[in-house]
Chains A and B, each alone.
Chain A
Protein backbone atom coordinates (compact mmCIF):
# COMPACT_ATOMS: atom_id res chain seq x y z
CA UNK A 1 0.00 0.00 0.00
CA UNK A 2 1.22 3.48 -0.92
CA UNK A 3 2.06 5.77 1.98
CA UNK A 4 1.96 9.55 1.90
CA UNK A 5 5.21 11.18 2.96
CA UNK A 6 5.31 13.77 5.73
CA UNK A 7 6.31 16.43 3.25
CA UNK A 8 3.32 15.72 1.06
CA UNK A 9 1.06 15.88 4.11
CA UNK A 10 2.49 19.25 5.14
CA UNK A 11 2.05 20.60 1.60
CA UNK A 12 -1.53 19.36 1.56
CA UNK A 13 -2.36 20.86 4.95
CA UNK A 14 -0.75 24.20 4.09
CA UNK A 15 -2.76 24.31 0.88
CA UNK A 16 -6.01 23.58 2.71
CA UNK A 17 -5.32 26.10 5.47
CA UNK A 18 -4.47 28.87 3.01
CA UNK A 19 -7.63 28.17 0.99
CA UNK A 20 -9.68 28.30 4.17
CA UNK A 21 -7.96 31.55 5.16
CA UNK A 22 -8.97 33.14 1.86
CA UNK A 23 -12.49 31.80 2.17
CA UNK A 24 -12.90 33.01 5.76
CA UNK A 25 -11.62 36.45 4.82
CA UNK A 26 -14.20 36.72 2.07
CA UNK A 27 -17.02 35.27 4.11
CA UNK A 28 -16.34 37.55 7.08
CA UNK A 29 -15.48 40.77 5.37
CA UNK A 30 -17.36 40.58 2.09
CA UNK A 31 -15.88 40.33 -1.33
CA UNK A 32 -14.62 43.86 -1.86
CA UNK A 33 -11.23 44.81 -0.50
CA UNK A 34 -13.08 47.71 1.11
CA UNK A 35 -14.81 45.16 3.34
CA UNK A 36 -11.52 44.13 4.86
CA UNK A 37 -10.60 47.78 5.44
CA UNK A 38 -13.72 48.04 7.61
CA UNK A 39 -12.46 45.13 9.70
CA UNK A 40 -9.42 47.21 10.53
CA UNK A 41 -11.13 50.58 10.83
CA UNK A 42 -14.01 49.53 13.09
CA UNK A 43 -12.00 48.32 16.12
CA UNK A 44 -9.57 51.21 15.73
CA UNK A 45 -12.44 53.69 15.63
CA UNK A 46 -14.12 52.16 18.69
CA UNK A 47 -10.92 52.57 20.70
CA UNK A 48 -10.68 56.14 19.40
CA UNK A 49 -14.22 56.86 20.54
CA UNK A 50 -13.53 55.48 24.00
CA UNK A 51 -10.47 57.68 24.31
CA UNK A 52 -12.50 60.69 23.21
CA UNK A 53 -15.18 60.03 25.83
CA UNK A 54 -12.62 59.72 28.63
CA UNK A 55 -10.76 62.74 27.33
CA UNK A 56 -13.93 64.86 27.37
CA UNK A 57 -14.56 63.60 30.87
CA UNK A 58 -11.35 65.34 31.85
CA UNK A 59 -9.40 62.18 32.43
CA UNK A 60 -5.62 62.30 32.18
CA UNK A 61 -3.34 59.44 31.22
CA UNK A 62 -2.58 57.20 34.23
CA UNK A 63 0.89 56.75 32.78
CA UNK A 64 2.87 58.70 30.20
CA UNK A 65 1.62 61.67 28.24
CA UNK A 66 -1.01 60.10 26.06
CA UNK A 67 -4.33 58.73 27.21
CA UNK A 68 -4.87 57.23 23.76
CA UNK A 69 -1.61 55.28 23.83
CA UNK A 70 -2.27 53.99 27.34
CA UNK A 71 -5.74 52.76 26.44
CA UNK A 72 -4.69 51.32 23.13
CA UNK A 73 -1.95 49.14 24.63
CA UNK A 74 -4.54 47.66 26.99
CA UNK A 75 -7.65 47.38 24.92
CA UNK A 76 -6.10 46.11 21.69
CA UNK A 77 -4.41 43.31 23.64
CA UNK A 78 -7.71 42.39 25.29
CA UNK A 79 -9.59 42.57 21.98
CA UNK A 80 -7.07 40.30 20.25
CA UNK A 81 -7.54 37.77 23.05
CA UNK A 82 -11.34 38.06 23.01
CA UNK A 83 -11.53 37.80 19.24
CA UNK A 84 -9.41 34.61 19.21
CA UNK A 85 -11.18 32.88 22.08
CA UNK A 86 -14.57 33.82 20.63
CA UNK A 87 -13.96 33.11 16.94
CA UNK A 88 -12.42 29.70 17.68
CA UNK A 89 -15.26 28.76 20.01
CA UNK A 90 -17.73 28.69 17.12
CA UNK A 91 -15.27 27.36 14.51
CA UNK A 92 -16.11 23.66 14.88
CA UNK A 93 -19.89 24.09 14.71
CA UNK A 94 -19.93 26.83 12.07
CA UNK A 95 -17.80 24.84 9.67
CA UNK A 96 -19.67 21.52 9.88
CA UNK A 97 -20.79 21.80 6.25
CA UNK A 98 -17.18 22.11 5.14
CA UNK A 99 -16.31 18.76 6.62
CA UNK A 100 -18.25 17.13 3.83
CA UNK A 101 -15.03 17.68 1.91
CA UNK A 102 -13.02 14.97 3.67
CA UNK A 103 -9.77 16.70 2.81
CA UNK A 104 -10.57 19.46 5.33
CA UNK A 105 -10.03 18.53 8.96
CA UNK A 106 -11.32 20.32 12.07
CA UNK A 107 -7.84 21.43 12.99
CA UNK A 108 -7.43 23.18 9.62
CA UNK A 109 -10.48 25.36 10.24
CA UNK A 110 -9.14 26.28 13.69
CA UNK A 111 -5.67 27.17 12.38
CA UNK A 112 -7.15 29.23 9.53
CA UNK A 113 -9.16 31.29 12.02
CA UNK A 114 -6.15 31.83 14.28
CA UNK A 115 -4.18 33.14 11.28
CA UNK A 116 -7.01 35.39 10.12
CA UNK A 117 -7.58 37.02 13.52
CA UNK A 118 -3.84 37.37 14.23
CA UNK A 119 -3.07 38.99 10.90
CA UNK A 120 -6.08 41.31 11.16
CA UNK A 121 -5.04 42.47 14.64
CA UNK A 122 -1.46 42.94 13.60
CA UNK A 123 -2.71 45.31 10.90
CA UNK A 124 -5.08 47.05 13.34
CA UNK A 125 -2.20 47.65 15.76
CA UNK A 126 0.13 48.91 13.06
CA UNK A 127 -2.55 51.27 11.71
CA UNK A 128 -3.66 52.51 15.10
CA UNK A 129 -0.20 53.19 16.50
CA UNK A 130 0.90 54.77 13.21
CA UNK A 131 -2.03 57.18 13.43
CA UNK A 132 -1.15 58.00 17.04
CA UNK A 133 2.46 58.65 16.10
CA UNK A 134 1.35 60.76 13.15
CA UNK A 135 -0.93 62.79 15.48
CA UNK A 136 2.00 63.16 17.85
CA UNK A 137 0.10 61.25 20.55
CA UNK A 138 2.71 58.52 20.82
CA UNK A 139 6.31 57.78 20.02
CA UNK A 140 7.71 54.63 18.47
CA UNK A 141 7.75 51.62 20.81
CA UNK A 142 10.84 51.60 22.99
CA UNK A 143 11.47 47.85 22.70
CA UNK A 144 9.74 46.59 19.61
CA UNK A 145 10.88 43.00 20.21
CA UNK A 146 9.11 42.98 23.59
CA UNK A 147 5.93 44.30 21.99
CA UNK A 148 6.11 41.55 19.37
CA UNK A 149 6.71 38.92 22.06
CA UNK A 150 3.66 40.20 23.98
CA UNK A 151 1.59 40.01 20.77
CA UNK A 152 2.61 36.39 20.19
CA UNK A 153 2.00 35.47 23.83
CA UNK A 154 -1.52 36.89 23.42
CA UNK A 155 -2.03 34.72 20.35
CA UNK A 156 -0.86 31.60 22.22
CA UNK A 157 -3.20 32.10 25.15
CA UNK A 158 -6.08 33.27 22.95
CA UNK A 159 -5.72 30.22 20.69
CA UNK A 160 -5.33 27.87 23.66
CA UNK A 161 -8.46 29.10 25.41
CA UNK A 162 -10.27 29.39 22.08
CA UNK A 163 -9.55 25.76 21.18
CA UNK A 164 -10.60 24.61 24.61
CA UNK A 165 -13.78 26.67 24.21
CA UNK A 166 -14.41 25.06 20.82
CA UNK A 167 -14.03 21.62 22.36
CA UNK A 168 -16.42 22.35 25.23
CA UNK A 169 -18.94 23.98 22.88
CA UNK A 170 -18.99 20.95 20.60
CA UNK A 171 -20.32 18.93 23.53
CA UNK A 172 -22.24 21.57 25.41
CA UNK A 173 -23.66 24.48 23.46
CA UNK A 174 -24.65 26.52 26.52
CA UNK A 175 -20.95 27.09 27.19
CA UNK A 176 -21.07 29.92 24.63
CA UNK A 177 -23.34 31.97 26.91
CA UNK A 178 -21.45 31.08 30.07
CA UNK A 179 -18.10 31.99 28.53
CA UNK A 180 -19.47 35.43 27.63
CA UNK A 181 -20.47 36.04 31.24
CA UNK A 182 -17.12 34.85 32.57
CA UNK A 183 -15.02 36.98 30.22
CA UNK A 184 -17.11 40.15 30.47
CA UNK A 185 -15.27 41.47 33.62
CA UNK A 186 -11.92 41.20 31.80
CA UNK A 187 -12.46 44.75 30.58
CA UNK A 188 -12.28 45.98 34.18
CA UNK A 189 -9.71 43.65 35.69
CA UNK A 190 -7.04 43.72 32.97
CA UNK A 191 -5.56 47.11 33.79
CA UNK A 192 -6.87 48.80 30.68
CA UNK A 193 -7.54 52.21 32.24
CA UNK A 194 -5.27 52.10 35.28
CA UNK A 195 -1.73 51.13 36.20
CA UNK A 196 -2.10 47.83 38.08
CA UNK A 197 1.10 48.31 40.09
CA UNK A 198 -0.42 51.38 41.76
CA UNK A 199 -3.32 49.39 43.20
CA UNK A 200 -3.36 48.31 46.87
CA UNK A 201 -1.54 45.01 47.55
CA UNK A 202 -4.83 43.22 48.35
CA UNK A 203 -6.16 44.04 44.89
CA UNK A 204 -2.89 43.06 43.24
CA UNK A 205 -2.86 39.67 44.95
CA UNK A 206 -6.21 38.88 43.34
CA UNK A 207 -5.74 40.52 39.96
CA UNK A 208 -2.39 38.88 39.29
CA UNK A 209 -4.23 35.63 38.57
CA UNK A 210 -5.66 37.22 35.44
CA UNK A 211 -3.32 36.28 32.57
CA UNK A 212 -4.62 39.11 30.36
CA UNK A 213 -3.38 41.62 32.92
CA UNK A 214 0.12 40.18 32.51
CA UNK A 215 -0.15 40.49 28.73
CA UNK A 216 -1.19 44.14 28.98
CA UNK A 217 1.70 44.85 31.35
CA UNK A 218 4.07 43.02 29.02
CA UNK A 219 2.90 45.06 26.05
CA UNK A 220 3.31 48.32 27.95
CA UNK A 221 6.75 47.39 29.19
CA UNK A 222 7.72 47.02 25.56
CA UNK A 223 6.07 50.19 24.38
CA UNK A 224 7.08 52.62 27.14
CA UNK A 225 10.78 53.20 27.83
CA UNK A 226 10.22 53.38 31.59
CA UNK A 227 7.13 51.36 32.50
CA UNK A 228 8.04 49.14 35.41
CA UNK A 229 5.59 46.55 36.60
CA UNK A 230 5.49 44.95 40.03
CA UNK A 231 3.20 42.27 38.77
CA UNK A 232 4.44 41.11 35.40
CA UNK A 233 5.53 37.48 35.23
CA UNK A 234 5.97 36.59 31.58
CA UNK A 235 6.10 32.86 32.18
CA UNK A 236 2.61 32.80 33.72
CA UNK A 237 0.54 33.68 30.62
CA UNK A 238 2.87 31.66 28.37
CA UNK A 239 2.62 28.47 30.46
CA UNK A 240 -1.11 28.90 30.85
CA UNK A 241 -1.47 29.45 27.10
CA UNK A 242 0.62 26.41 26.20
CA UNK A 243 -1.33 24.36 28.75
CA UNK A 244 -4.67 25.31 27.20
CA UNK A 245 -3.28 24.70 23.71
CA UNK A 246 -2.32 21.18 24.74
CA UNK A 247 -5.76 20.58 26.23
CA UNK A 248 -7.35 21.88 23.02
CA UNK A 249 -5.19 19.85 20.66
CA UNK A 250 -5.29 16.67 22.74
CA UNK A 251 -9.04 17.02 23.25
CA UNK A 252 -9.64 17.48 19.55
CA UNK A 253 -7.73 14.25 18.91
CA UNK A 254 -9.21 12.22 21.77
CA UNK A 255 -12.83 13.13 21.14
CA UNK A 256 -12.64 13.27 17.33
CA UNK A 257 -14.83 10.22 16.91
CA UNK A 258 -17.41 11.13 19.52
CA UNK A 259 -17.86 14.73 18.49
CA UNK A 260 -19.35 14.26 15.06
Chain B
Protein backbone atom coordinates (compact mmCIF):
# COMPACT_ATOMS: atom_id res chain seq x y z
CA UNK B 1 0.00 0.00 0.00
CA UNK B 2 1.14 3.53 -0.75
CA UNK B 3 -0.33 6.25 1.37
CA UNK B 4 0.16 9.85 2.33
CA UNK B 5 -0.64 10.97 5.84
CA UNK B 6 -1.14 14.73 6.34
CA UNK B 7 1.69 15.49 3.94
CA UNK B 8 2.84 19.08 3.56
CA UNK B 9 5.43 20.11 1.02
CA UNK B 10 6.58 23.52 -0.08
CA UNK B 11 9.62 24.99 -1.78
CA UNK B 12 11.28 28.27 -1.01
CA UNK B 13 13.29 29.81 -3.80
CA UNK B 14 14.76 33.30 -3.55
CA UNK B 15 12.52 34.06 -0.61
CA UNK B 16 9.31 33.10 -2.42
CA UNK B 17 7.49 30.20 -0.81
CA UNK B 18 5.41 27.96 -3.02
CA UNK B 19 3.10 25.50 -1.31
CA UNK B 20 2.77 22.29 -3.32
CA UNK B 21 0.81 20.13 -0.89
CA UNK B 22 -1.04 21.12 2.22
CA UNK B 23 -2.19 18.43 4.65
CA UNK B 24 -2.79 15.81 1.98
CA UNK B 25 -4.06 12.46 3.24
CA UNK B 26 -4.67 9.79 0.66
CA UNK B 27 -4.19 6.04 0.13
CA UNK B 28 -3.55 4.73 -3.36
CA UNK B 29 -5.70 1.76 -4.39
CA UNK B 30 -3.49 -1.32 -4.68
CA UNK B 31 -5.27 -3.01 -7.55
CA UNK B 32 -5.66 -0.17 -10.02
CA UNK B 33 -3.38 1.81 -12.29
CA UNK B 34 -3.53 5.46 -11.39
CA UNK B 35 -2.97 8.45 -13.65
CA UNK B 36 -1.77 11.73 -12.23
CA UNK B 37 -2.72 14.98 -13.92
CA UNK B 38 -2.39 18.64 -13.11
CA UNK B 39 -1.16 21.93 -14.49
CA UNK B 40 2.54 22.58 -14.94
CA UNK B 41 4.07 23.21 -11.55
CA UNK B 42 1.08 21.74 -9.70
CA UNK B 43 3.33 19.13 -8.10
CA UNK B 44 3.07 15.98 -10.22
CA UNK B 45 6.78 15.26 -10.22
CA UNK B 46 7.03 16.23 -6.57
CA UNK B 47 4.33 13.68 -5.77
CA UNK B 48 6.34 11.05 -7.66
CA UNK B 49 9.49 11.84 -5.72
CA UNK B 50 7.59 11.80 -2.43
CA UNK B 51 6.07 8.41 -3.27
CA UNK B 52 9.43 6.94 -4.28
CA UNK B 53 11.16 8.26 -1.18
CA UNK B 54 13.64 10.38 -3.13
CA UNK B 55 12.24 13.40 -1.36
CA UNK B 56 10.86 13.83 2.15
CA UNK B 57 7.71 15.75 3.08
CA UNK B 58 8.12 18.87 5.22
CA UNK B 59 5.53 17.47 7.59
CA UNK B 60 3.49 14.27 7.64
CA UNK B 61 4.41 10.78 6.51
CA UNK B 62 4.57 8.70 3.38
CA UNK B 63 3.95 5.00 3.98
CA UNK B 64 5.03 2.38 1.50
CA UNK B 65 5.25 -1.36 2.03
CA UNK B 66 5.79 -2.44 -1.55
CA UNK B 67 8.82 -2.44 -3.77
CA UNK B 68 8.45 0.93 -5.46
CA UNK B 69 10.59 1.96 -8.42
CA UNK B 70 12.52 5.20 -8.71
CA UNK B 71 10.59 7.77 -10.79
CA UNK B 72 11.15 6.45 -14.30
CA UNK B 73 11.59 8.53 -17.36
CA UNK B 74 14.54 10.43 -16.05
CA UNK B 75 17.97 9.52 -17.27
CA UNK B 76 19.90 11.18 -14.49
CA UNK B 77 21.58 9.13 -11.84
CA UNK B 78 23.93 7.70 -14.42
CA UNK B 79 27.56 8.47 -13.85
CA UNK B 80 28.80 10.05 -17.08
CA UNK B 81 32.36 8.86 -16.81
CA UNK B 82 31.35 5.27 -16.18
CA UNK B 83 30.31 2.94 -18.99
CA UNK B 84 26.76 1.79 -19.60
CA UNK B 85 27.62 -1.67 -18.29
CA UNK B 86 29.10 -0.32 -15.06
CA UNK B 87 26.00 1.78 -14.47
CA UNK B 88 23.76 -1.23 -15.08
CA UNK B 89 25.73 -3.37 -12.65
CA UNK B 90 25.63 -0.64 -10.04
CA UNK B 91 21.86 -0.27 -10.14
CA UNK B 92 21.40 -4.05 -10.20
CA UNK B 93 23.62 -4.35 -7.14
CA UNK B 94 21.86 -1.72 -5.04
CA UNK B 95 18.53 -3.34 -5.75
CA UNK B 96 19.94 -6.75 -4.84
CA UNK B 97 19.43 -8.26 -8.31
CA UNK B 98 21.57 -10.79 -10.13
CA UNK B 99 23.93 -8.52 -12.07
CA UNK B 100 24.45 -10.99 -14.93
CA UNK B 101 20.73 -11.46 -15.47
CA UNK B 102 20.04 -7.70 -15.45
CA UNK B 103 22.99 -7.00 -17.76
CA UNK B 104 21.82 -9.61 -20.22
CA UNK B 105 18.27 -8.29 -20.15
CA UNK B 106 19.32 -4.69 -20.74
CA UNK B 107 21.77 -5.72 -23.47
CA UNK B 108 18.99 -7.48 -25.33
CA UNK B 109 16.37 -4.88 -24.71
CA UNK B 110 18.27 -1.64 -25.33
CA UNK B 111 19.95 -2.80 -28.56
CA UNK B 112 22.87 -0.57 -27.66
CA UNK B 113 25.38 -3.30 -28.49
CA UNK B 114 28.99 -2.29 -28.08
CA UNK B 115 28.07 1.24 -27.00
CA UNK B 116 27.40 -0.25 -23.57
CA UNK B 117 31.15 -0.48 -23.17
CA UNK B 118 31.54 3.27 -23.66
CA UNK B 119 31.15 5.99 -21.02
CA UNK B 120 27.62 7.39 -20.67
CA UNK B 121 28.79 10.89 -21.56
CA UNK B 122 29.25 9.72 -25.16
CA UNK B 123 25.57 8.68 -25.39
CA UNK B 124 22.85 10.62 -27.15
CA UNK B 125 19.75 11.43 -25.11
CA UNK B 126 17.85 8.73 -26.98
CA UNK B 127 20.47 6.13 -26.07
CA UNK B 128 20.34 7.20 -22.43
CA UNK B 129 16.56 6.91 -22.41
CA UNK B 130 16.74 3.39 -23.89
CA UNK B 131 19.23 2.37 -21.24
CA UNK B 132 17.17 3.88 -18.42
CA UNK B 133 13.95 2.26 -19.61
CA UNK B 134 15.56 -1.14 -20.16
CA UNK B 135 17.16 -1.02 -16.75
CA UNK B 136 13.91 -0.23 -14.98
CA UNK B 137 12.16 -3.06 -16.81
CA UNK B 138 14.91 -5.52 -15.81
CA UNK B 139 14.20 -5.03 -12.13
CA UNK B 140 10.94 -6.36 -10.76
CA UNK B 141 9.08 -3.69 -8.89
CA UNK B 142 5.60 -4.01 -7.44
CA UNK B 143 4.79 -0.40 -8.24
CA UNK B 144 6.23 1.51 -11.18
CA UNK B 145 6.29 5.28 -10.93
CA UNK B 146 6.36 6.79 -14.39
CA UNK B 147 6.99 10.46 -14.93
CA UNK B 148 6.00 11.51 -18.46
CA UNK B 149 7.42 8.56 -20.27
CA UNK B 150 8.40 9.64 -23.75
CA UNK B 151 8.57 7.12 -26.53
CA UNK B 152 12.10 6.74 -27.82
CA UNK B 153 13.57 5.09 -30.86
CA UNK B 154 12.09 3.93 -34.13
CA UNK B 155 8.72 2.22 -34.66
CA UNK B 156 10.12 -1.21 -33.90
CA UNK B 157 11.64 -0.13 -30.65
CA UNK B 158 8.46 1.64 -29.60
CA UNK B 159 6.45 -1.51 -30.29
CA UNK B 160 8.88 -3.57 -28.29
CA UNK B 161 8.79 -1.13 -25.36
CA UNK B 162 5.02 -1.19 -25.39
CA UNK B 163 4.91 -4.98 -25.41
CA UNK B 164 7.35 -5.34 -22.53
CA UNK B 165 5.58 -2.67 -20.58
CA UNK B 166 2.10 -4.13 -21.03
CA UNK B 167 3.51 -7.45 -19.94
CA UNK B 168 4.83 -5.87 -16.74
CA UNK B 169 1.41 -4.51 -15.97
CA UNK B 170 -0.01 -7.99 -15.49
CA UNK B 171 1.98 -8.36 -12.24
CA UNK B 172 2.70 -4.80 -11.24
CA UNK B 173 0.84 -1.62 -10.58
CA UNK B 174 1.65 1.69 -12.22
CA UNK B 175 1.25 5.27 -11.15
CA UNK B 176 1.79 7.53 -14.11
CA UNK B 177 2.10 11.22 -14.83
CA UNK B 178 0.93 12.20 -18.29
CA UNK B 179 -0.67 15.00 -20.25
CA UNK B 180 -1.82 12.71 -23.01
CA UNK B 181 -5.40 11.45 -22.92
CA UNK B 182 -4.47 8.52 -25.14
CA UNK B 183 -1.63 7.31 -22.93
CA UNK B 184 -3.78 7.59 -19.85
CA UNK B 185 -6.66 5.65 -21.38
CA UNK B 186 -4.15 3.06 -22.59
CA UNK B 187 -2.63 2.29 -19.24
CA UNK B 188 -4.76 3.60 -16.41
CA UNK B 189 -8.25 2.97 -15.05
CA UNK B 190 -8.55 5.79 -12.58
CA UNK B 191 -6.69 8.94 -11.67
CA UNK B 192 -6.06 11.91 -9.48
CA UNK B 193 -5.98 15.58 -10.32
CA UNK B 194 -3.68 17.89 -8.40
CA UNK B 195 -4.94 21.40 -7.84
CA UNK B 196 -4.74 24.03 -5.13
CA UNK B 197 -2.27 22.06 -2.97
CA UNK B 198 -4.57 19.08 -2.69
CA UNK B 199 -5.56 16.01 -4.68
CA UNK B 200 -8.91 14.78 -6.02
CA UNK B 201 -9.61 11.19 -6.97
CA UNK B 202 -11.65 10.11 -9.98
CA UNK B 203 -12.85 6.53 -10.40
CA UNK B 204 -12.63 6.52 -14.20
CA UNK B 205 -10.33 8.03 -16.79
CA UNK B 206 -13.26 9.81 -18.45
CA UNK B 207 -14.14 11.69 -15.28
CA UNK B 208 -10.50 12.55 -14.71
CA UNK B 209 -9.99 13.88 -18.24
CA UNK B 210 -13.25 15.85 -18.02
CA UNK B 211 -12.15 17.48 -14.76
CA UNK B 212 -8.72 18.21 -16.23
CA UNK B 213 -10.29 19.98 -19.22
CA UNK B 214 -12.58 21.86 -16.90
CA UNK B 215 -9.62 23.05 -14.86
CA UNK B 216 -7.69 24.12 -17.94
CA UNK B 217 -10.67 26.16 -19.13
CA UNK B 218 -11.36 27.74 -15.77
By a beta-carbon cutoff of 8 Å, the part of chain A in contact with chain B is 1-3, 12, 15-16, 18-20, 22-23, 26-27, 31, 97-104, 256-257, 260
Smallest CB-CB A-B distances: 6 pairs: A102-B53, A19-B93, A2-B65, A100-B77, A102-B54, A102-B52
Residue of A nearest to B74 (CB): A100
- Chain B residues near A12: list those with CB within 8 A: 96
Q: What's the dominant secondary structure at chain A's contact region? A: helix
Q: Is the CB of B56 within 8 A of A27?
A: no
Chain A residues near B52 (CB-CB < 8 A) = 102
Contact call B86/A260, Cβ cutoff below 8 A: no
Which B residues are within 8 Å of any A CB, using their own CB?
1, 52-58, 63, 65, 68, 70-71, 74, 76-79, 81-83, 86, 90-91, 93-96
Are the C-beta atoms of A99 and B54 separated by less than 8 Å? Answer: yes
Q: Is the interface of B mostly helix, strand, loop or mixed?
A: loop
CB distance from B99 to the nearest CB of A (A): 10
Most buried by B among A3, A18, A31, A100: A100
A20 and B63 CA atoms in complex are apart in Å by 26
- Do residues B82 and A101 form an inter-chain contact, with CB atoms below 8 A? no
Question: Once the chains bind, are B77 and A103 in contact (CB under 8 Å)?
Answer: no
- Taking a contact as CB atoms under 8 Å apart, the answer to whether B90 and A260 are in contact is no
List chain B residues, Cβ under 8 A from A19. Answer: 90, 93-94
Chain B residue with minimal CB distance to A100?
B77
Give the contacting residue for A26; candidates B86, B91, B93; CB below 8 A: B86
Listed A/B pairs (18) with beta-carbon separation below 8 Å: A1-B1, A3-B65, A20-B94, A23-B79, A23-B82, A26-B86, A27-B79, A31-B83, A98-B77, A100-B54, A100-B74, A100-B77, A101-B91, A101-B94, A102-B54, A103-B53, A103-B94, A256-B56
